[in-house]
């Protein structure tokens, strides 16, 4: 089936360019960084994007691995230094198990702005999606974790503004961490004198940006994160981006139809029609997830046709596994009775 063409309302205006085009950036080689960051041993570059490049480094004083984010230089933004310092301090105050920690920030003598962050040894959600190995139950497990991180950040007054699979990291144990909190705000000027000298800036990633984010050039609230998370959720469930006049997830993949209104509400074009808080989205996702894990109703047992037998003990089995463990038991005079999940009881 041919992919539907995106509707005009779903495509950012032409003047809104991806970050990579707004800020052409050539990452410095590791050897150059070692010369200007003597407190670190910069080992290699891990990746590059529109908001800079990330390097793996060893912090010599503490003998630990860290990730160093080098930010691109923004020509014509006379307020960047003050904004960088203010936002870096705000990010450093974020302390949550599912948010990548910012350890330090600074500027080298050569004028390179950098953030020193927790190193997450693993992969990102984009690589997982490309491998095609994300079943729906894993998506249902990941989304509430992302919600927890967003709830915490929003309470601190910080909006991510660039939720996408590349910024959702998974370590070797499968734990979820969100990276690049607040960087989009750090990179966009809010001063009128800068706006006059710079291209209209929209920091974010097409198809993950809320419509109001593209229109306003960055003046958004926490509901922009809800929209982006809805797009990521759709992509996790279907393996596709919600482009054009897209159908609900259950029409693209074998997923629970009860997720359709949750995902579609998250991506409402009008922010007033979306979830107004991430906690509401989390509650609805967990309600569907919990319902899908409930044990089936007990199998009815036919009345015996022979003479009544002495009452036998009740067969009970409690499943200790958290994830859909199948339990079964059978006794004299009854067929197998099955259940799923913790607390399943099988009775004669």
Per-residue pLDDT reduced to its tens digit, 17-57: 344 444 567 889 999 999 999 999 999 999 887 678 999 99
d(CA 24, CA 19): 8
**Helical (H) or strand (E) element with 198:** none
Spell out, as residue ranges, where the chain has pLDDT lower than 70.
1-24, 50, 74-78, 184-204, 216-218, 294-348
pLDDT in tens, 167-208: 999 999 999 999 988 776 666 554 433 433 333 444 567 889
Distances from the Cα of 86 to the Cα of 106, 113, 143, 261, 346, angstroms:
12, 13, 30, 39, 59
Coil/strand/helix, residue 15 = coil
- Catalytic pick among 162, 180, 194, 225: 162
Cα 333 to Cα 346: distance, rounded to the nearest angstrom: 14
Contact 65, 57 (CB under 8 A): yes
Answer yes or no: are the C-beta atoms of 23 and 10 closer than 8 Å. no
Half-sphere exposure of 287 (CA within 13 A, CB side): 10
* Contacts of residue 99, Cβ cutoff 8 Å, sequence gap at least 6: 149, 152, 153, 177, 178, 181
Does the active-site annotation cover 148? no
Ordered domains of the chain (ranges, CATH)? 23-118 (3.30.200.20), 121-292 (1.10.510.10), 296-348 (no CATH)
């Amino acid at each position: 089936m041919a992919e539907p063409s995106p509707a005009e309302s779903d495509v950012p205006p032409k003047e809104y360019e991806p970050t990579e085009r707004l800020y052409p950036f050539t990452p410095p080689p590791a050897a150059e960084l070692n010369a200007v960051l003597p407190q670190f041993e910069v080992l290699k570059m891990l990746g590059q994007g529109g908001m800079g490049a990330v390097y793996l480094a060893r912090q010599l004083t503490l003998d630990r691995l860290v990730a160093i984010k080098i930010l691109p230089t923004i020509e014509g933004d006379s307020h960047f230094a003050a904004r960088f310092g203010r936002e870096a301090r705000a990010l450093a105050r974020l302390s949550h198990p599912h948010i990548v920690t910012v350890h330090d920030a600074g500027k080298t003598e050569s004028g390179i702005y950098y953030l020193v962050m927790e190193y997450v040894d693993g992969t990102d959600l984009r690589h997982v999606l490309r491998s095609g190995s994300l079943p729906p139950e894993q998506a249902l497990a990941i989304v509430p974790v992302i919600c927890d991180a967003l709830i915490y950040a929003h309470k601190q007054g910080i909006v991510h503004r660039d939720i996408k699979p590349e910024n959702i990291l998974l370590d070797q144990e499968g734990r979820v961490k969100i990276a690049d909190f607040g960087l989009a705000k750090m990179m966009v000027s809010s001063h009128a004198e800068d706006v006059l000298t710079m291209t209209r800036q929209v920091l974010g990633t097409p198809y993950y940006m809320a419509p109001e984010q593209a229109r306003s050039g960055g003046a958004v609230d926490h509901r922009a994160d809800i929209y982006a998370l809805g797009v990521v959720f759709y992509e996790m469930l279907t393996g596709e981006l919600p482009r054009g006049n897209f159908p609900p997830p259950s029409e693209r993949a074998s997923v629970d139809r009860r997720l359709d209104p949750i995902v579609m509400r998250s991506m409402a074009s009008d922010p007033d029609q979306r979830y107004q808080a991430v906690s509401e989205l989390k509650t609805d996702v967990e309600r569907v997830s919990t319902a899908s894990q409930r044990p089936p109703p007990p199998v009815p047992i036919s009345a015996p046709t022979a003479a009544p037998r002495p009452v036998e003990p009740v067969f009970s089995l409690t499943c200790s596994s958290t994830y859909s463990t199948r339990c079964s038991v059978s006794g004299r005079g009854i067929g197998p009775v099955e259940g799923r999940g913790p607390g399943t009881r099988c009775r004669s």
